Structure 1
């Protein structure tokens, strides 16, 4: 990209804010700070601008300015009592306090471990035990769940009055680029919880990469219309993003929170997805940016039609997780005529998107996951480790300053995930065409993406196997118009019905991980030559098995 795009060459040239250098084979932003808090402090300049709109407080609607947020952050930071490098778990639903907690931990040099707030008490405590935090910051509901699950350590309920703060003790020094900054959890294919460690550099690189993309869009528009970049920028409405992804996801943390925060944008928080509420907030708050999955877009389109809503403020829509159907694309463009639609591909272990396509680039290859971003190297490998040619399918392998340092306290898992020369195995199967677009065709990881949520089959199967009546079980995804994929289960069992199996899983894992359908097999489940359950055969049998329920 840097060799052929003059705009990219100009905005990343020596002396510019986005100047790019290279070290140990990795490209990085030369002028980036080493500590994420240094980047965060720059947002103080937005002063009295609205930073957060939240409807989850006891008093109802809350509108928090940047000045107020920093004061709140500093007050909490003084109470943490941590030293650089100590881990602090954050366990809350989407709310202003979550953001304050994250900023406070980073300010004090801590490592923020982001717990899946939708988890059961057992799941929450498994994550806590994995990272052994010095402190947990929680809301009242999650604090109760943690205590119920057996957590007896130090905990601050940040949704209650904090009282007078002690004198803040500033960290002795700033973080080094490769110091850990955050730990985000992923179950992985084994069903065991794992914490991906993201360094200050990996998060900063991802965030500045987002800013670089925005800068290039402005320069391209200026070139297209023959005007200055300043003239284009002056016509761009104030940024307002509707936050729908959970903040413990990399999408919520990065594109939903930190990216707009650093740019002075307004973040409108949704506690949970509700299409009617989303339409109301977009119209009322003049939301300009959405990051969603097709499931949510379908819901929004149907609701907006019935409400005759004005969604014309939306200028940017990011959609990932599955291809955007053509009929949905047409409906979205009718409702949001000024919007630029895009897609991206990334994962927790890559600190966010590593490929992207926006606007005309997206429309040229809607089924793709985008083109590789400038600071990312990507290759497609055959099983023997050799590199595939164009349009040849293999595993996607990536290298970048955005890549995680490894899995917390799991050296064996880390070693399996990285190649000997330091490239990350994504576990995704795909190919790259002659134009550079990446296409995902399958997942080496046994995972289902349902409504934008990652559900790992091994984790669900582990819980199913604990049900005494079940002899064998398997879970997999089937196509679903609304969810993209729906998780289903096939079990060999005695004395059970579908509802009891679904309720068993929902009572032990986050409810969204429960299968939506369960089929019962009177015979042992089919197996392949390796004596593993043959899910390809089960998928073929699914219509017959499900029809017998």
Structure 2
């Protein structure tokens, strides 16, 4: 999206909510709040609208309005007993209590440290010890795991009712006013997945997280204005006639997509959030119909599951208006299936990372469809450049490491000065670790991970490129390519797939005809089950490598 775009110029003009200025050498939103709590407080205006549809620990459905969530939040704040800058670790499965815990922590001036609730006791305690929180907010199951790991510090189980007298006593005590945060103050700590090394906590400031959230909101506003222009209808008319939107939350809340796109953005917009504790395709299609879900963002595996149900005639997906996935380009055959089953839905994709507070590139609707192989267009407040391994900047269209700069970029890794230094270039650009290129229109194309490249017989093979081509093959459901040791070639490219009506020879031929012959996998194994994934929804290639001897041995 060029800055000469008339819609962009209109919605970012001086005096508008999304006015853009330059400060400290970075483009920023002139009217951004300094403190995330101010944005959260603005959601009180949604009043008695339903905000969360969830299930209690007893399995009973519960519907909580915005008013009820804020009342719960306000009751919890005095119980925290923290000061500005104190870390508060949150460790729960997706549930309303998690959201209340986050809102209360930010209200009290704390820094929310979001633990991977799927970790082992040792992993959970290691994260806690890393951030030294003033207290831990947990659910019963996670509280037991944390205690089993040896943590003896202060912890509150939010899934158990508090003592009424304790609530009254705390409510009667004066609660210190933390004042407003400074934009550069830490706001949240999100832990990286750790599949390529030890877990690190990315520190997002109030400015970085708010910038990331507002950049995504700006994309939505531009889509709305373009829709209004196309139909000759005032934006205000469209807004006045829109029913309450509803989103199905399937991403973990401790992940940046769960926190931003599936919780905070809906909170600000007055959108209903329907929480799924664990992915189940049958339950997903039931909820989509019963709750009239309009927005659904998920990893490709979940989208395939949902489409399979729909093709069997067991799903009514007519309420869906927005379907999205992220990370890299959707497989073309998956995209075509979605469009055939849900022609009424606008498609979208995005590219980003935890360290950049979410997306740095997005594409929605026609902007996405006309360049389906991309992972989105660079957002207006992000600067993206491509660099060679020696740091030389690459010309437009050439591949190299994607590097990012902007107000949405993290402050650094908590208590990891050496790893923070390694994450940035000497002139302050964030190294994403992704290989890709940017075309003349600002579309980003992901080629691979810097560390996910196979060198076979002296030739560099990018696994993501091979996976993209395999993903276009009819009958291909899931695929992953990776290297295994080979005495003659150094590494051998192999693939594991979940596919129908094809065989190893056909896959090799398909890839070899579309890429250089040496990029075709030497061996292909077929998995009877979905490929293993980490908590971010990405294929876990460490597990796949360990499974390879068995998978290939039973062919």
Question: What TM-score do the two structures reach when normalised by structure 2?
Answer: 0.82
**Is 2:411 aligned against 1:405?**
yes
Return closer, same or farther for 1:479/1:351 CA change in 2, 3 Å cut-off. farther
Shift, 1:211, TM fit: 1.5
Note if contact 1:189-1:445 (Cα within 8 Å) is conserved in structure 2: no
Among 226, 240, 253, the alignment partner of 2:232 is 226
Shift, 1:446, TM fit: 4.8
Among 291, 296, 305, the alignment partner of 1:299 is 305
- C-alpha separation between the residues in 1 aligned to 2:190 and 2:51? 24
Trace 1:140-179 onto structure 2 (pairs within 5 A).
140-164=140-164, 165=167, 166-167=170-171, 169-179=175-185
Q: Which residue of 1 aligns with 2:92?
A: 92
Note if contact 2:54-2:96 (Cα within 8 Å) is conserved in structure 1: yes
Shift, 1:346, TM fit: 0.3
Trace 1:2-81 onto structure 2 (pairs within 5 A).
3-58=3-58, 60-81=60-81
**Is 2:295 aligned against 1:289?**
yes
- C-alpha separation between the residues in 2 aligned to 1:173 and 1:429? 42
Q: Which residue of 2 aligns with 1:515?
A: 543
- C-alpha separation between the residues in 2 aligned to 1:73 and 1:93? 18
Return closer, same or farther for 1:151/1:47 CA change in 2, 3 Å cut-off. same
**Is 2:211 aligned against 1:192?**
no
Question: Which consecutive residues of structure 1, in runs of 5 or more, have no partner in the other structure?
Answer: 462-473, 483-504, 520-541
- C-alpha separation between the residues in 2 aligned to 1:170 and 1:476? 60
SS at match of 1:384: coil
Shift, 1:29, TM fit: 0.9
Q: How many residue pairs align between the two structures?
A: 482
- C-alpha separation between the residues in 1 aligned to 2:339 and 2:179? 49
Shift, 1:329, TM fit: 2.2
- C-alpha separation between the residues in 2 aligned to 1:284 and 1:339? 18
Q: Which residue of 2 aligns with 1:317?
A: 323
- C-alpha separation between the residues in 1 aligned to 2:267 and 2:339? 27
Shift, 1:253, TM fit: 0.3
Note if contact 1:198-1:404 (Cα within 8 Å) is conserved in structure 2: yes
Return closer, same or farther for 1:233/1:58 CA change in 2, 3 Å cut-off. same
Note if contact 2:109-2:178 (Cα within 8 Å) is conserved in structure 1: no
Return closer, same or farther for 1:153/1:543 CA change in 2, 3 Å cut-off. closer
Q: Which residue of 2 aligns with 1:480?
A: 497
Return closer, same or farther for 1:391/1:308 CA change in 2, 3 Å cut-off. same
- C-alpha separation between the residues in 2 aligned to 1:297 and 1:368? 18
Note if contact 1:371-1:437 (Cα within 8 Å) is conserved in structure 2: yes
Note if contact 2:328-2:446 (Cα within 8 Å) is conserved in structure 1: no
- C-alpha separation between the residues in 2 aligned to 1:235 and 1:445? 49
**Is 2:372 aligned against 1:366?**
yes
CA deviation string 1:279-316 (max 9, x = no partner): 00000000010111111100001122335322111111
- C-alpha separation between the residues in 1 aligned to 2:158 and 2:342? 38
Return closer, same or farther for 1:189/1:388 CA change in 2, 3 Å cut-off. farther
**Is 2:351 aligned against 1:351?**
no
Tell me which moved more, 216-225 or 53-62.
53-62
Note if contact 2:436-2:445 (Cα within 8 Å) is conserved in structure 1: yes
- C-alpha separation between the residues in 1 aligned to 2:241 and 2:31? 28
**Is 2:258 aligned against 1:241?**
no
Note if contact 1:294-1:322 (Cα within 8 Å) is conserved in structure 2: no
- C-alpha separation between the residues in 1 aligned to 2:219 and 2:57? 35
Q: Which residue of 2 aligns with 1:524?
A: none
Give the aligned CA root-mean-square deviation in angstroms: 2.7
CA deviation string 1:345-383 (max 9, x = no partner): 000000000001111111112121111000000000112
- C-alpha separation between the residues in 2 aligned to 1:140 and 1:180? 28
Shift, 1:477, TM fit: 8.6
CA deviation string 1:192-225 (max 9, x = no partner): 1110000001111111112211111111011111
- C-alpha separation between the residues in 2 aligned to 1:393 and 1:203? 29
